[in-house]
């Protein structure tokens, strides 16, 4: 039982670099927008700008998929949308279960971008018996006891964990035992999973802390370079010391 590696094995899957895979959804989104505006073709330059990346990088990324462009013209939007969708496996429907229907779980359940992007919420699962049967986003919440049954019957291979940190590993183990091989983890915990199971982690607190680091740095540079925006680099609130409350097991984004 390998210890949870939060990211993919460094191994590139089928020759497509992991970094490229991570950008494909970005391109797909930009392309979908163009498609809706009935734009027939785009150049790598335009598309790159729309996706917020470098055009050389975009071209290199696409080159891993094949030669889908026409020199002197650009890329056919519809065709590219199809190719990327296929590459990402979005031409099929992925049933997903969400475990932990607190504030965040409910928010995820209501997420409109699910169905339209190839994902379907198969079930919402919560440990609280009081929640059972209660409709959230049009689906009745099921109790944790039924987890294995739900996963098996619906052929679910992707699970979303939105439980408090304390419950995450246990839920993860049950999901994996039930046959799930991909997990999106919102709980602030390092999950341990067997080989062959992918885990991706989303952590609000970590993102904020990274921002704080850079923010602090900017404030420290105060004396040096003057910021372009006159108001930036504000002194912020007074520093205090005794921080560090008791929150070891705080849920990701959960009921207080």
Partner DNA sequence: CCATCTTTGTGCACGCGTTCACAAAGACAT
Partner DNA sequence: ATGTCTTTGTGAACGCGTGCACAAAGATGG
User: Which residues are known binding-site members for NAD(+)?
Assistant: 100-105
- Least Cβ distance, residue 254 to DNA (angstroms): 29
Binding partner selected for residue 140 from a copy of itself, DNA, none, CB under the kind-specific 5 to 8 Å limit: none
75, 41 contact by CB (below 8 A): yes
Its sign, for the CA torsion 49, 55, 58, 59, is positive
CA distance 233 to 224: 11
C-alpha closest to that of 97 among 136, 165, 154: 154
Sole binder of DNA in the list 32, 35, 50, 74 (CB under 7 A): 74
- Give residues 105-134 in contact with a copy of itself (rule: CB under 8 A): 106-108, 110-120
Q: CB-wise, 52 or 72, nearer to a copy of itself?
A: 52
* Interaction of residue 45 with DNA, rule CB under 7 A: yes
* Interaction of residue 71 with DNA, rule CB under 7 A: yes
* Interaction of residue 50 with DNA, rule CB under 7 A: no
- The interface region with a copy of itself, picked from 39-47, 59-67, 126-134, 233-241 by CB under 8 A, is 233-241
- The interface region with DNA, picked from 13-21, 31-39, 126-134, 184-192 by CB under 7 A, is 13-21
* Interaction of residue 135 with a copy of itself, rule CB under 8 A: no
Structure tokens belonging to residue 104 = 């965040």
How far from the centroid of its chain's Cα atoms is residue 152's Cα? 24
Binding partner selected for residue 67 from a copy of itself, DNA, none, CB under the kind-specific 5 to 8 Å limit: DNA
Binding partner selected for residue 12 from a copy of itself, DNA, none, CB under the kind-specific 5 to 8 Å limit: DNA
The residue count for the chain: 256
CA distance from start to end of the chain: 34
> What residue has token string 């290199």?
60
* Interaction of residue 28 with a copy of itself, rule CB under 8 A: yes
Which residues, in sequence order, are bridge partners of residue 74?
Answer: 70
C-alpha closest to that of 184 among 206, 200, 167: 200
Structure tokens belonging to residue 76 = 């056919």
Please give the residue ranges that form the binding site for DNA (CB under 7 A).
Answer: 10, 12, 17-20, 42-45, 53-57, 59-60, 62-63, 67-75
């Amino acid at each position: 039982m390998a210890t949870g590696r939060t990211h993919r094995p460094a191994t590139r899957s089928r020759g497509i670099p992991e970094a490229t895979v991570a950008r494909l959804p970005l391109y797909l989104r930009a392309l979908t927008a163009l498609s809706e505006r009935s734009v027939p073709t785009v150049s790598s330059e335009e598309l790159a700008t729309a996706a917020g990346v470098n055009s050389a990088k975009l071209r290199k990324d696409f080159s891993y998929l094949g030669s889908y462009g026409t020199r002197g013209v650009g890329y056919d939007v519809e065709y590219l949308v199809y190719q990327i969708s296929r590459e990402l496996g979005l031409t099929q429907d992925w049933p997903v279960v969400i475990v932990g229907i607190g504030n965040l779980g409910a928010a995820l359940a209501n997420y409109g971008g699910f169905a339209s992007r190839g994902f379907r919420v198969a079930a919402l699962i919560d440990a609280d018996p009081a929640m059972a049967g209660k409709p959230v986003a049009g689906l009745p919440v099921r109790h944790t006891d039924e987890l294995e049954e739900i996963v098996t019957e619906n052929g679910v291979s992707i699970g979303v964990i939105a439980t408090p940190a304390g419950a995450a590993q246990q839920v993860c183990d049950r999901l994996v035992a039930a046959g799930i091989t991909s997990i999106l983890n919102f709980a602030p915990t390092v999950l341990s999973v067997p080989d062959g199971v992918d885990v991706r982690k989303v952590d609000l607190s970590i993102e904020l802390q990274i921002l704080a680091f850079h923010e602090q740095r900017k404030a420290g540079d105060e004396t040096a370079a003057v910021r372009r925006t006159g108001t930036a680099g504000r002194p912020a609130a007074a520093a205090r010391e005794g921080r560090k409350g008791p929150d070891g097991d705080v849920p990701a984004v959960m009921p207080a």
